[in-house]
Structure 1
Amino acid sequence: MKLSLDVFLENSFVPIYGITLVVAMVRYPKYFDTSLRYFPILLLYTFLNDLLGDLIYRYDSFSLAFNDLYNDYYFVIYNIYNIVFFLYFLYLFRNYIESRRFRKWIKHAALVFLIVSLINPFFQDFFLEYQYLTFFVGSIFIIICISRYLYEDYKNIKAGLKTMNVLFFIGTGLLIYHICYLPIKAIRYCNGIMGLLENPWLRRIHLILILIMYSLIIIGFLRMKKRLIR
């Protein structure tokens, strides 16, 4: 049973990026002139980034290393990706949050995130180690930002001013993923410090969270009827 689950999860998380990209491109005319227009580019980047990372993880012949001393060199692709990922979503949801005060807070959060991204390599090698501090700070800021957006969205829906749009599903997927993945990342960090082996269920839960997040994003695009504004 566990073997079947592992086979399914390991072979489904990269394809779902591709499926999400296709669905997002089909719906592109409904948001091509909004802040969401860059989303397909991020999806393509995610698909190629994780495909490359998966190949490097599984096969020794795929490597970014210049010699055997740097067999974990592939961490650099995830470190760069995290910076792009968090900055994009801070930018995206800032444009749809109504509170001016909170939009100003997001600007400051993005600046703090960039500073942390510059400081983190002094403690962990950017090319050889995962930048945990960058991820933790970015993830916390994303959770706060999306929580604010969903709160405003809920009030507007309850008041009958709008219906659930694609951003509701994107935000919900991201929120579920990051709230649940933060403790997993913390456990992995502690395991690395103490030299402990990872519980296989951490990987399984991580992949399940990816499927949940992108399934919600797909649902959001499929339900999309009206053109998105802003």
Structure 2
Amino acid sequence: MYQELIDLFRENYFLVAYGVALVISMATYRKYFDTALRYFPIIIAYTFFNELLGYFIRYKETFAFFSDSNLQFANDIIYNIYYVVFFCFFYFLYWKIVNKPKLKKWISWSAYFVLLAYIVNSFIYNPLTFNLFYAHSIGSWVLVFCILLYFGNLPNWKWDRDKYNLMIWVSIGLCVFYSFYPPLLLIGFLKTEIWQQYHLRTVLRILIVIMYFLFCIGFVISRRRAFK
């Protein structure tokens, strides 16, 4: 069992980034426990354990969700649920942080549009056994849109001052990953030969590590009073 865990983390090194970010987020929690990011460690923990569960469902028979042998290794449902929760968390987060009513309205309507995309995608493909990659892509681009609204909402931007704002680092990390995630996701499902030829799975995992590295920088250098 011990060797299996070592092999698991060696093959899926991005899981280490989740674990490290979770530990640091909890160690520095006093810096942001009373901010809009107070539930962020829960999201990181959810991400970490969801990835572990997805791995075990895919490769361990004892973790199968479905009794049908043809669906024994199907883990798409947990990722479909995960992304709905993940996107809703951040849409609400940015809706709460921006202070202009017009921006709040744009974020609200964008979030409704993403939920509609998930509903429509679920009619096209069975969410229990198929990855809703079209909806994930739309949700990712809308998240980037919300981040851009947040940056545009910041008054008197100054890096020397705002680099201590945890929300800045979280936003940069999310923007870096979710700007590239949709095209990589679509290629992975629609152009498998390109996905394999250019080792895009490795690119995706490197982007995950970069995103969580930026989160960790924010946790470490952020200051409580700088949050906005």
- Provide TM-score, normalisation by structure 2: 0.87
Q: Aligned residue for 2:3?
A: none
**Paired position in structure 2 for 1:4:** none
Distance in 2 between the 1:105 and 1:94 partners? 9
Q: Percent identity?
A: 33
What is the CA-CA distance between 1:93 and the residue it aligns to? Answer: 1.6
Give deviations 1:111-135, integer Å, cap 9, x for gaps. Answer: 1222222221110101000012220
The amino acid that maps onto 1:89 is F
What amino acid is the match of 1:171? S
| Equivalenced residues, count | 220
Task: Please say if residues 157 and 164 of structure 1, whose CA atoms lie closer than 8 Å, have aligned partners that are also in contact.
Answer: no
Structure-2 separation of matches of 1:213 and 1:160 = 21
Which residue identity is paired with 2:129?
L
Cα separation, partners in 2 of 1:225 and 1:77, compared to 1, 3 Å: same
Structure 1 range deviating more: 132-141 or 202-211: 132-141
Question: Which runs of structure 2 are paired with 1:83-162 in the superposition (5 Å)?
Answer: 83-153=84-154, 156-158=156-158, 162=162
In the TM superposition, residue 89 of structure 1 has moved relative to its aligned partner by 0.7
Name stretches of at least 5 consecutive residues in structure 1 with no aligned partner.
1-6
What's the CA shift for 1:63?
Answer: 2.3
Distance 2:194 2:149 in 1: 37
Q: CA deviation at 1:16?
A: 1.4
Aligned to 1:3: none
| Structure 2 residue ranges without an equivalent (≥5) | 1-7
Shift of the 191–71 alpha-carbon distance from structure 1 to 2, 3 Å rule, reads: farther
CA distance in 2, matches of 1:10, 1:157: 41
The more displaced of 171-180 and 28-37 is 28-37
- C-alpha spacing 1:60/1:206, structure 2 compared with 1 (3 Å): farther
C-alpha spacing 1:150/1:10, structure 2 compared with 1 (3 Å): farther
1:1-230 superposed matches below 5 A: 10-153=11-154, 156-158=156-158, 162-191=162-191, 196=193, 198-199=195-196, 201-227=199-225
User: Distance in 1 between the 2:105 and 2:196 partners?
Assistant: 41
Structure 2 CA distance for aligned equivalents of residues 31 and 164 of structure 1: 12
Aligned to 2:5: none
Amino acid at match of 2:196: N
Given the two structures, how large is their TM-score scaled by the length of structure 1?
Answer: 0.86
Give the Cα separation in 2 of the matches to 1:144 and 1:98. 16
RMSD: 2.4
Secondary structure at 2:92 match in 1: helix
Which residue identity lines up with residue 158 of structure 1 in the other structure? Answer: K
Higher RCO (C-alpha 8 Å, min separation 6): 1
